[in-house]
């Protein structure tokens, strides 16, 4: 796999291309782009067959190790790739360590090992063990193992430990990558740790920016994953993101993982970040909400999202979004989906997830078009307005519930 940047500049939005996928897959992928978040190799709530109703284009599946750990022994005996195993041969694969949609438990550290929380309990991984697992998965892309257990409140001692452990992992993973006949053909991305300490980030980068085998970097250690990321103010992470992006060579693919809201996604892209994931679609779907924000620069502002559990949608026979062309909006009404959610039918979340993934992929199509036309600032402006209205409404509802509970 090869990454090429069309317009090379630091701290600016950019268009790039991923290509050279090997013998099994042809074509190119344009960045900024999304990894399709999965659990156990399946996009939450929908199957690979259902996803073809959303898009028939090539995509990269984000496959967290935490959801695939139990298949390790089986895959060691399996001759195919991880995407062959999960029944999605047409997809590319990207192996990550943690699941960005679930909160990663803090603590439980061990020397030169990191905990992986699985359904069967905690498993400690070091770099050689991780590389061995990767060889059985045969991924198209993978992230180096790291200690990303830091957030805004982390103490310097924890940050220092995270950096030292991540550097140790980096050296071992790089050695494993070079020696492995399988992994040397995969696109490797190193994780930059250091929490919110710029000196610690610099220490990490001083070690990692020297090796040509690394195709890109992940800005790790900004959070502990999960739904809470949606409401992290961008001002909290801006200085770290700007500092890292100013140091990284322009020809490297840059990734930020997590359930970031669309406004923060665009702000990261304004700094040159290329790669994100669809974990946000999962958390929105699981609160029974459908994304409806507008990305039309000439159109009217829309409601940011709608919660289809609300009783006001019981007799609403409109589609989720009037201009949406997804399978859900073509065939089902808000009222019908409200009914499905009320009686707890499995079809409800499936239909919402189809819409949300479709909407988010279209959002990124618009982002790429705006970069080409130099109108990304206008897109950011209308997103900020819509998200602010949503936040204000959410805070008002929370305050009313709190007042009612106290009364």
Grade residue 21 by pLDDT with cuts at 50, 70 and 90: confident
Report CA 130 to chain centroid distance, whole Å.
21
pLDDT in tens, 163-179: 999 999 999 999 999 99
pLDDT for position 403: 58
At 334 the pLDDT is 98
Which SS3 state, helix, strand or coil, does residue 350 take? helix
For residue 276, give its domain range.
Answer: 2-285
- Asked if 22 and 33 touch (Cβ cutoff 8 Å), the reply is no
Which pLDDT value is given to residue 395?
83
The pLDDT value given to residue 22:
74
Condensed to tens digits (0 to 9), the pLDDT of residues 62-85 reads 999 999 998 988 999 999 999 999
Say whether both 341 and 402 belong to one domain: yes
Confidence tier at 401 by pLDDT (50, 70, 90): low
Q: What is residue 402's predicted lDDT score, i.e. its pLDDT?
A: 57
In this prediction, residue 208 carries a pLDDT of 97
Question: Is residue 398 scored above 80 in pLDDT?
Answer: no
Average per-residue pLDDT for the chain: 94
244 lies in the same domain as 313: no
Instruction: Report the distance separating Cα 166 and Cα 24, nearest Å.
Output: 33
60 phi and psi angles, rounded to 5 deg: -105, 125
131 annotated ligand-binding residue: no
Q: Which residue has the tokens 């061990």?
A: 110
Rounded CA separation 302/224 (Å): 31
Domain boundary among 221, 254, 285: 285
- Maximum alpha-carbon separation in the chain: 66
- Say if residue 281 is in the same domain as residue 354: no
* Domains: count for the chain: 2
Same domain (yes/no): 149, 40:
yes
- Do 225 and 278 share a structural domain? yes
Write down which residue in 224, 257, 285 finishes a domain. 285
Higher pLDDT, 317 or 26: 317
Identify the helix (H) or strand (E) that includes residue 156.
helix 156-179
407 falls in which pLDDT band (50, 70, 90)?
low
Statement to judge: residues 178 and 209 lie in one domain: yes
Q: Would you place residue 393 in the very low, low, confident or very high pLDDT band (cuts 50, 70, 90)?
A: confident
- The annotation status of 329 as a binding-site residue, yes or no, is yes
Closest among 51, 143, 80, 148 to 109, alpha carbons compared: 148
Q: Is 204 annotated as a binding residue?
A: no
Does any domain span residue 293? no
Confidence of residue 405 (pLDDT cuts 50, 70, 90): low
Q: Judge whether 245 lies within some domain.
A: yes
Same domain, 358 and 256: no
Confidence of residue 240 (pLDDT cuts 50, 70, 90): very high
Over residues 317-338, the mean pLDDT reads 97
Tell me if 33 sits within 8 A of 274, measured CB to CB: yes
Residues 228, 330, single domain; the answer is: no
Annotated binding-site residue? 177: no
Q: Is the pLDDT of residue 406 over 90?
A: no
Last residue of a domain, one of 218, 252, 285: 285
How confident is the model over 23-38, as pLDDT tens digits? 667 789 999 999 999 9
């Amino acid at each position: 796999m090869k990454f090429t940047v069309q317009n090379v500049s630091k701290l600016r939005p950019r268009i790039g291309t991923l290509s050279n996928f090997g013998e099994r897959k042809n074509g190119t992928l344009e960045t900024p782009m999304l990894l399709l978040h999965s659990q156990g190799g399946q996009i939450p709530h929908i199957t690979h067959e259902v996803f073809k109703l959303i898009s028939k284009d090539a995509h990269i599946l984000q496959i967290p190790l935490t959801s695939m750990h139990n298949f390790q022994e089986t895959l060691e005996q399996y001759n195919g790739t991880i995407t062959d195993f999960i029944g999605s041969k047409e997809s590319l694969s990207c192996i990550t360590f943690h699941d960005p949609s679930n909160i990663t438990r803090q603590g439980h550290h061990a020397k030169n090992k990191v905990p992986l929380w699985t359904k069967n309990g905690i498993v400690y991984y070091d770099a050689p063990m991780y590389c061995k697992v990767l060889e059985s998965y045969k991924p198209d892309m993978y992230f180096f193992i790291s200690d990303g257990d830091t957030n805004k409140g982390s103490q310097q001692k924890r940050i220092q430990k995270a950096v030292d452990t991540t550097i140790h992992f980096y050296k071992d993973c790089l050695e494993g990558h070079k020696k492995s006949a399988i992994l040397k053909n995969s696109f490797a991305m190193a994780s930059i740790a250091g929490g919110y300490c710029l000196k610690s980030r610099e220490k990490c980068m001083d070690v990692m920016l020297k090796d040509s085998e690394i195709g890109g970097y992940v800005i790790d250690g900004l959070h502990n994953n999960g739904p809470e990321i949606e409401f992290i103010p961008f001002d909290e992470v801006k200085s770290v993101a700007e500092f890292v992006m100013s140091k990284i060579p322009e020809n490297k693919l840059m990734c930020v993982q997590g359930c970031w809201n669309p406004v923060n996604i665009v702000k990261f892209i304004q700094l040159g970040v290329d790669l994100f994931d669809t974990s946000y679609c999962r958390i929105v779907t699981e609160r029974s909400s459908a994304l409806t924000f507008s990305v039309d620069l000439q159109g009217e502002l829309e409601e940011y999202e709608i919660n289809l559990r609300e009783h006001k949608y019981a007799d609403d026979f409109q589609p989720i979004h009037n201009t949406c062309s997804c399978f859900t909006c073509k065939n089902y009404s808000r009222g019908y989906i409200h009914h499905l959610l009320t009686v707890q039918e499995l079809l409800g979340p499936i239909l919402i997830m189809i819409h949300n993934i479709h909407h988010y992929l279209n959002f990124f199509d618009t982002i790429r078009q705006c970069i080409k036309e130099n109108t990304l600032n206008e897109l950011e402006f209308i997103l900020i307005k819509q998200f602010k209205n949503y936040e204000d409404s959410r805070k008002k509802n929370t305050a009313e519930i709190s007042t009612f509970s106290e009364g």
